[in-house]
Amino acid sequence: QDDLFKKVIAHAKEYGFIFPSSEIYDGLSAVYDYGQNGVELKKNLREYWWKAMVQMHENIVGLDAAIFMHPTTWKASGHVDAFNDPLIDNKDSKKRYRADVLIEDYAEKQRQKAEKEIEKAKKRFGEDFDEALYRETNPRVKKYLDEANDTVKRMAASLDAGDLADVKSLIEEKGIVCPISGSKNWTEVRQFNLMFGTQMGSVAEGASTLYLRPETAQGIFVNFLNVQKTGRMKIPFGIAQTGKAFRNEIVARQFIFRMREFEQMEMQYFVRPGEEMKWYKYWKEERMKWHRALGMDDSYYRFHDHEKLAHYANAAADIEFNFPFGFKELEGIHSRTDFDLKAHEEHSGKKLQFFDPELGQNYVPYVVETSIGLDRLFLAVLSYAYREESLEDGSSRTVLRIPAPLAPVKAAILPLIKRDGLPEISREILDELRYDFNIQYDEKDAIGKRYRRHDAIGTPYCITVDHETKEDKCVTLRDRDSMTQERVPIQNLKAKLSESLSL
């Protein structure tokens, strides 16, 4: 798995999907640039989401709010006071860690010890083994599982109470060591705010501190009435937005999974108070359906219901994806109550209420949010698509089995050779198709090599123009996944591609 992840990262760079940011200066930690193929795939994923959320719902509209917002926004939303991670440094290795992640890793190790005991027992008892009973009654298994639960519970309680000294005590009591140096020499735990600040205006007098938004949602909340009134929206209705968000993540790792600058695709659904659970369940299911419609194996997705809720939520779940490093959050569905709109009412002194004609009353709506990281979706699709295949003739190929409508390049036009009028015919076909599809013309190298090149960037179709084309006005259409080839009249190409490539 680790190996697969490394290969995906190397492939993404070699084939123009993702480059480290400012690479000539040795890169910038946890910041990445999308190359010529990456930008196409990312655009297609964004469009796929937008179509499903906005175009296919009469009662959901779009928005593109600015990244900069009035600084009070972040006071109201709770981000200035509560968008923190608990930090701890190891004095010997000088490495910085998230205290909560260290403790969660410890708990995970206890759970793994319990699983090992269970595996051993399974082998020992064979068919008669009652796993559920063993889990509950075996003292050693229970000890490990209780230790994991108790530790996480105590950490959550200490963090909630702001008792950072106890978080440190926990790390010491459990004998947690620095993963790099093995040392137990820790500093105090302190809170670290994840927002990036910057100055507006001349830095001298009158300058005020702004934040780069850590989520796109607040731009939707502050525009709630603007959209509702001008769009004559009736509850329930949604506002959708895609755009950059910024977080000064302490442990930025795992490639584009956790970045300091990333893109979110969020939708806030405004509902009647008291109906939020109905809509929360509805969106949980809808979003899972959307993911599954991408055609990746169902077993790669699962829900994770949150027990510990953020300050604004009364229910929350993640859709997790099986990334090369295991199941991790891909999308969050949150029931955010009326927390945000109420807080903005309070801080701005403006009413943010909806007059419900059916009930004949004004209220602050409740909000159900769906929030997905575009870069994480990109990583999910890319790592799932990456395959190394052995072919019947003994050779091998690397292919990206990206769902065809999302592929960066939809078809490659390949004249068999560079003369005899074949390039001219190819270019005519190119001109015919390029407005509707992202098509590449490629005449360099032997045809087999060109096929491989397009397999590697996930191009679903290769269109080969050969000498017979001049006679029969047909081309050879090669399918990326099955590698089968069929003869297709040039005049049918557009319809044929449209059929399998539309989103």
Residue among 398, 409, 402 nearest 385 (CA): 402
Task: Report, in Å, the least distance between residue 241 CB and ligand ATP.
Answer: 13
Tell me which of 42, 258, 450, 480 binds ligand ATP, using CB under 6 A: 258
Is 376 a binding residue for ligand ATP by CB under 6 A? The answer is: yes
Binding mask 317-336 for ligand ATP (x = CB under 6 A): ------------xxxx----
Angstrom distance (rounded) from CA 55 to CA 43 = 16
Contact assessment for residue 49 and residue 43, using Cβ atoms and an 8 Å cutoff: no
Kindly state the smallest distance separating residue 246's Cβ from ligand ATP, in Å: 9
Q: What are residue 60's DSSP bridge partners? A: 238
Options 373, 403, 415, 458; binder of ligand ATP; rule CB under 6 A: 373
Cβ of 437: how many Cβ atoms within 10 Å? 16
| Half-sphere exposure for 44 (CA within 13 Å, toward CB) | 24
Residue pair 242/377 in contact by the 8 Å Cβ criterion: no
C-alpha to C-alpha distance for 40 and 460, rounded to whole angstroms: 14
User: Total binding residues for ligand ATP by CB under 6 A?
Assistant: 16
Does the CA dihedral 283-287-290-295 come out positive or negative? negative
* Pair 426, 413: CB distance under 8 Å: yes
> Annotation-wise, does 105 bind a ligand?
no
Q: Please, what is the minimum distance in Å from the beta carbon of residue 264 to ligand ATP?
A: 5
Give the closest residue to 450 by CA, choosing from 471, 465, 428: 465
What's the one-letter identity of residue 355?
Answer: F
Q: How far apart are CA 374 and CA 293, in angstroms?
A: 17
Supply the minimum distance, in Å, between the C-beta of residue 341 and ligand ATP: 18
Q: Which of 49, 262, 312, 378 binds ligand ATP (CB under 6 A)?
A: 262
Give the count of beta carbons closer than 10 Å to the beta carbon of residue 496. Answer: 15
Q: Is 471 annotated in some ligand binding site?
A: no
* Binding segment toward ligand ATP, per CB under 6 A, in 181-189, 371-379, 399-407, 429-437: 371-379
Q: Which is nearer to ligand ATP, 148 or 245 (CB)?
A: 245
CA 244 to mean position of chain CA atoms = 13
Confirm or reject binding of residue 217 to ligand ATP (CB under 6 A).
no
The token pair that represents 54 in the structure block: 């906005």
Among 102, 148, 259, 462, binds ligand ATP (CB under 6 A): 259
User: Is 247 annotated as ligand-binding?
Assistant: yes
The distance of closest approach from Cβ of residue 463 to ligand ATP in the complex, given in angstroms and rounded to an integer, is: 36
Tell me how far, at minimum, the Cβ of 481 lies from ligand ATP, in Å: 28
DSSP SS3 for 333: strand
Q: Could you tell me the smallest distance in angstroms from the CB atom of residue 374 to ligand ATP?
A: 8
Q: In the bound complex, what is the minimum distance in angstroms from residue 259's beta carbon to ligand ATP? A: 4
Binding region for ligand ATP (CB under 6 A) out of 255-263, 336-344, 469-477, 490-498? 255-263
Cis peptide bond prior to 236, omega within 30° of 0: yes
Span from 131-139, 259-267, 352-360, 380-388 in contact with ligand ATP (CB under 6 A): 259-267
Say which DSSP state 90 is in.
Answer: B
Site of tokens 């993702």 = 18
**Counting Cβ atoms within 10 Å, is residue 43 exposed (0-12), middle (13-18) or buried (19+)?**
middle
Based on the shown chain and the rule CB under 6 A, indicate whether residue 375 belongs to the binding site for ligand ATP: yes
233 is in an annotated binding site: no
Nearer to ligand ATP, 12 or 259 (CB): 259
Dihedral angle sign, alpha carbons of residues 139, 143, 144, 150 = positive
- Using the contact rule CB under 6 A, the part of the chain among 86-94, 147-155, 372-380, 397-405 near ligand ATP is 372-380
Residue 270 labeled ligand binder: no
Binding residue positions for ATP: 247-249, 257-262, 329-330, 373-376
Residue ranges at the known binding site:
98, 215, 247-249, 257-266, 329-330, 369-376
Residues placed in the known binding site for substrate? 98, 215, 262-266, 369-373
- Contacts with ligand ATP by CB under 6 A lie at 215, 247, 249, 258-259, 262, 264, 329-332, 371-373, 375-376
